[in-house]
Copies of this chain bind each other. A is one copy, B any other.
Amino acid sequence: MTVREVKVGNVVFGGDRTVLIAGPCAVEGLQMLQTVAGAARAGGADMLRGGAFKPRTSPYSFQGLGVEGYRMLDKVRREQGMPVVSEVMAVDQIEPALEYIDMFQIGARNMHNFTLLSAVGRAGVPVLLKRGFMATVEEWLMAAEYVVKEGNEQVVLCERGIRTFEPWTRATLDISSVPLVRGMGGYPVVVDPCHSSGRRDLLEPLSLAAIGAGADGLMLEVHPDPDKALSDGGQSLSVVDFEAIADKVHRLDEWIREHINSDTIER
């Protein structure tokens, strides 16, 4: 099955080049966002990410800056000329997001929120649909179908790991899902090694593995000072480390497309 292309501004998922999405887990302030975005852009990122609304297990954790965060993302995407993806957690966040955001992320915890999926489908904006951390591949494809059914085919899937008994990683990156959903569903797939592993030392090997498996892009958390991040710092990259990984990923991707994929028949 051929993977269908999804365009977000000048970025193409499922095209002839891997897409790198980079940025902080949460938008913490304008200046920090500008620093990360500028460095990520220079380091090879194609798209900016940043959470304005943050789904948190505890109601007492930092919940994000909300619409104010969307506005910061909007300002920075204009400055850098790069599209932005951010999470939409509820139907009433769609309206403001339409003005400020290029691609709507549906988080893992909302993959089964069918009301939200349908509403995002009707909004007609590109969607990045994360896999629920205990959803089967079939359920994930069905969730995408809730968006597509409303006439919106601009869906990119994001593998972020599933929950298992293994305690040394935050989740277990299900690398097999990459060729599975590309082959069975025809959707471009992005891999998120940060949430999958929760460990900085695994980000490079997992990024290269994802490219080997045929992923159409990667989503990486970058923070100007990872150890001071308000959320998920332990799995964020510094700007320098991001540049190093981005460079390797782009070179590997190019080489595989030229020397391996050309003679692949049923991949």
A176 near B176 with CB under 8 A, answer no
Q: Which residues of B contact A267 (CB under 8 A)?
A: 204-205
Query: What is the bound-complex CA distance between A118 and B58, given in angstroms?
Result: 12
Stretch in contact with the other chain, from A26-34, A97-105, A161-169: A161-169
Residue of B56, B113, B136 near A166 (CB, 8 A) is B136
Question: Are A112 and B109 CB-contacts (below 8 A) given A164-B164, A209-B175?
Answer: yes
Tally of contact residues, A, Cβ under 8 A: 74
Most buried by B among A162, A204, A266, A267: A204
- Does A78 touch B at the CB level, under 8 Å? no
Which of A4-12, A38-46, A219-227, A253-261 touches B?
Answer: A253-261
Asked if A176 and B259 sit within 8 Å, CB to CB, the answer is: no
Instruction: Verify if A142 is at the interface (C-beta below 8 Å from B).
Output: yes
Interface of A is mostly: helix
The residue of chain B having its C-beta at the shortest distance from the C-beta of A211 within the complex is: B212
Question: Does any Cβ of B come within 8 Å of A67's Cβ?
Answer: no
A128, B110: Cα distance in complex, Å: 19
Decide if B115 touches A89 in the complex (CB within 8 Å): yes
- CB contacts (< 8 Å) of A166 on chain B: these are 136-137, 162, 174, 177
Does A252 belong to the interface (CB within 8 Å)?
yes
Cβ contacts under 8 Å, A183 to chain B: 201
Q: Is the CB of B179 within 8 A of A201?
A: yes
Q: Considering residues A138, A180, A209, which has the most beta carbons from chain B within 10 angstroms of its beta carbon?
A: A209
Q: Is the beta-carbon distance between B248 and A252 smaller than 8 angstroms?
A: no
A133 to B166, CA, bound (A): 11
Q: Given that A58-B142, A113-B110, A259-B251 are known contacts, is A165 also in contact with B136, CB under 8 Å in the complex?
A: yes
Contact of A90 among B91, B214, B266 (CB under 8 A): B91
In the assembly, what is the distance between CA of A244 and CA of B172, in Å?
Answer: 29
Pick 13 A–B contacts, CB within 8 A, sort by A. A57-B142, A90-B115, A91-B91, A132-B134, A133-B134, A136-B165, A162-B164, A164-B172, A172-B174, A183-B201, A204-B267, A252-B256, A252-B260
Shortest 9 CB-CB contacts between residues of A and residues of B: A134-B134, A212-B212, A109-B112, A208-B212, A90-B115, A209-B213, A179-B205, A209-B212, A175-B175
